[in-house]
Amino acid sequence: MMHKDVSKLWKLKLNYKFAGEAGNENIGKLREELSNVKLEMSAQNEMIKENLIKKNAIKELEFTLTYLETELVMVKDYSKINKETISNLEEKLSIVRLQLKEAKNSYEKRTNVIKELEAKFKEATGNLLERK
């Protein structure tokens, strides 16, 4: 995905240079489109970084959830353990499950935003290529 974006950016830069050398009257429009593409790529990069952070947080929450579930099973196996401890662990497990669900929902929303930005980027690139 990044390689294609970089390739498209190179093509835009070459088109811009070619248009500048040929005295094309649409240099201002090309500059604006190039600037827009750069801004969109920058925004996409930021969202990708944020998604990686969220993905790592989700993995940590999943690990914590697995750990707490295992711990809960072990505690339930020991009949002498206080019921209050079991209740506490279940409450923590419930909180972690909720956090995991929220993190996954947030990740899905960001993924959708990235897809929309990619579509806009492709459309802008198509417009530039049509103008050429």
What domains, with CATH codes, occur in the chain?
Answer: 2-131 (1.10.287)
Question: Structure pTM?
Answer: 0.44
Q: Dump pLDDT digits (tens) for 53-107.
A: 999 999 999 999 999 999 888 877 776 667 778 888 899 999 989 998 998 888 8
pLDDT exceeds 60 at position 22:
no
Instruction: List, as one string, the DSSP characters of 10-64.
Output: HHHHHHHHHHHHHT-TTHHHHHHHHHHHHHHHHHHHHHHHHHHHHHHHHHHHHHH
Predicted confidence band of residue 120 (pLDDT cuts 50, 70, 90): confident
